[in-house]
Amino acid sequence: MNKQETLEQLDLDAYELPEKQQSELNQFLKICREFMDHCDDEMVARAFKLCYASHQGETRASGEPFYEHPIEVAKIIIRELGMDDVSVAAALLHDTVEDTEVTLNYIEQKFGSTVANLIDGLTKISGVFKNKGTKQAETFMKLLLTMAEDLRVVLIKFSDRLHNMRTIQPLPRKKQLAIASETMELYAPLAHRFGLFQMKSELEDLSFKAMDPTGYKFIARKLRDKKESREAFIEEVMNPINKQLEDSGFQFQIKGRPKHIYSIYKKMMRQQKPFEEIYDLFAIRIILDDPHTKEDCWRVYSFITDWYTPIPERFRDFISVPKANGYQSLHTTVITHTGKKVEVQIRTKKMDEVAEKGLAAHWKYKEGSSEGKNIERFVHWIREVLDNPRPDAATEFVEDFQLNLYTDEIYVFTPKGELRTLPQGSTPLDFAFEIHSEVGERALASKVNGQMAPLRQELKSGDQVEVITGKKVNLSADWLNDVKTHKAKARIRQFIRQQEREIADKGRELWEKKASRSKLEISDQELSKVASRLKFPSLHKLFYDIGAGAYDVTKLYKYVKKYKDKGRFSDDEEKITPKDAKDSEDNAYEIVYDESTLTSASKGLVMNGEVTDVKYSYAKCCNPIPGDDVIGFISREGDVKIHRVTCKNTRHLIQTDGDRVVDVKWAPFTGDQFTGAVKIVGEDRVGMINDISNVISKSLNTNMKSINISSDSGMFEGTLILLVKDIKHLENVIQNLQKIDGVKLAYRYE
């Protein structure tokens, strides 16, 4: 009897678990009853037993029993998302069909069609993820298509990924980076779009922790150090408000929630400021208990602004106009009596649950008057972004999709007063395509708030937009940089590809006429070899350049005739070798592969225990310095480009060409110098530049490549480009610059 027969003949009701696992089941059912209004204990118990029986003997990378993973995923579904017992059963069994001998038919017989359909959806997604021949973009599209059938699939998949990220540490470094990058690029933005703020924040933080452990620990330590002062500040600010709310009969909670670590890091990078200069590290949240209403939120807002001065441009009313994911709250930033700025968010308890759990909360409240419509909007949105995407445009689709996921929204109106939601930065062109594809294609001009406006003009919330159309298609390739929405970009790219095909067809026609007149015969297969030897990525690109006039068809004819006459077209023909890439001036510092067979070496790269002769250089986009966490990418020519793990290009490279990723580490110091940049801010006084130069050149024996200083209103800001030995050397420079009289800030500049 094989394992499948054994499992599928198992009487789940009569099956007795070992003592330890029975205790775990009892505790699990207790959690279910605590968090669910209704729970089918028998169904959940059967799912728990099958989970244990089917995964018995399997272990994870950490050495822990594998069955504990689906149980933890199910606990996330229960505690953190508040989902139903059907979702819990599916979570417990989500790996069985894929990884064990259990069949989908057996699942349907024992647990019903709904559980079986959920597991089928999850298995399809996992199968695509494991297909190494499938591009990541196409995988993501498959994920979305499956989600559109039953949105509970995405909640289980997110919970699965969240637990995997929480337990990522035992995996090899290269695999950690790949999973963390995928999580940051795909799962976190999608969680954001579905309003799963709590999950999105943790996914981002865990990904950041895996990709840049040093940066994560630095910000986490800073937040811990400031915890007491933060709590004291919140108490001081909210004391008078607290009393007024109590006197007015409000039932409420006040929370001072710090921003999550990755959002602080992004703000530091975006504003190029150190941690100490980021003022909105946390927000004060006032949550009104049920049955308080949105009108009560406005009353609380009036209390806040009676005590403190609001900053008008920082006010956001997401109650009257919710975000597309259903988020509702009043946001205001006020200046306290001590001159500090603080953000205050005001919402009801139900709004808070939707804000934290998004789609899961909508699911919970779907019996209500409006929440069912929110779920319908989610499904409509997914189907809209998946509206006939071309398989060969999958990567473009995901890039546009990810941009739209994180973009802030604006709200504009049609001439009839209908509300439309668009990404921030949208133009009348985006609005036109949002109304209908034909309106976008035939757009000639626009009116914004009754006044003629360019089609490229950036719209603002509250604008009323009218698009003037013609009878003919008026598409332009130039529009691509003037639109934000995926729908507009997809149609314009389709138009551009159509133009490219027409130009390439013209090029082919020119070639065929030239070859026909000279009676030169050559197959497309041979001609593709010619295109490759002439450094064209494809035969299509060769024909395109001929059609566009960028490559002379006579040159192609002469090249083909020369080699055709010599009979040089054979599979073993020597290829034209590319010019040797110019070595980077900084590529003297030693790098070694960080593999299981890693050995130290003073020169070159080491892989599989041997010193290799691979050329390598340092990426100019991030200027890695010894001591930085780095990673390597093998180029088509076989050399290695070294990037910092935190580099903005690293994540993209991992996603698009993960097979070319290699783990690298710094070898012992050889005395070479590396480029580092420092931002410095301080008082503009006589002799300041001289003091800075002296500290760098004399005290620290550091060479300065350039200095760029600008001053305004008694303050200066400058950027120093230095040559340093390693990260400790750079940190030493920064510490000494901070000691100069009048210098307020000095920090590494990206």
Catalytic residues: 98-99
Strand ranges of the sheet holding 661-666, from the earlier edge strand across to the other edge: 591-593, 661-666, 630-634, 640-644, 616-618
Query: Token pair 């946001």 is at which residue?
Result: 331
Task: Give, in degrees to the nearest 5, the angle at Cα 176 between 170 and 179.
Answer: 125
Enter the tokens of residue 324.
């597309």
The DSSP line for 576-604 is: PPPPPPPPPTTTTS-EEE-STT----SSS
Structure tokens at 516: 């026909």
Per the listing, tokens 């130069």 go with 693
Burial class from Cβ neighbours inside 10 Å (0-12, 13-18, 19+) for residue 531 reads: buried
> In angstroms, rounded to a whole number, what is the distance separating the alpha carbons of residues 591 and 662?
11
DSSP secondary structure string for all residues of 159-201: HHHHHHHHT-TTS-HHHHHHHHHHIIIIIHHHHHHTT-HHHHH
Cα 540 from Cα 532, distance rounded (Å):
11
> What single string gives the DSSP state of each residue in 235-261?
HHHHHHHHHHHHHTT--EEEEEEEPPH
131 token code pair: 């297909």
Residue-by-residue DSSP string for 36-96: -S---HHHHHHHHHHHHHHHTT-B-TTSSBTTHHHHHHHHIIIIIT---HHHHHHHHTTTH
Angle subtended at Cα 573 by Cα 570 and Cα 514, rounded to the nearest 5 degrees: 65
CA distance 634 to 644: 15
Judge contact between 55 and 100, C-beta under 8 A: yes
What are the phi and psi torsion angles at 71 (to 5°)?
A: -65, -45
Instruction: Tell which residue, 629, 625, 642, has the closest CA to residue 748.
Output: 625
Stretch (H or E) spanning 663: strand 661-666
484, 404 Cβ separation under 8 angstroms: yes
Beta-carbon count within 10 A of 89 CB: 29
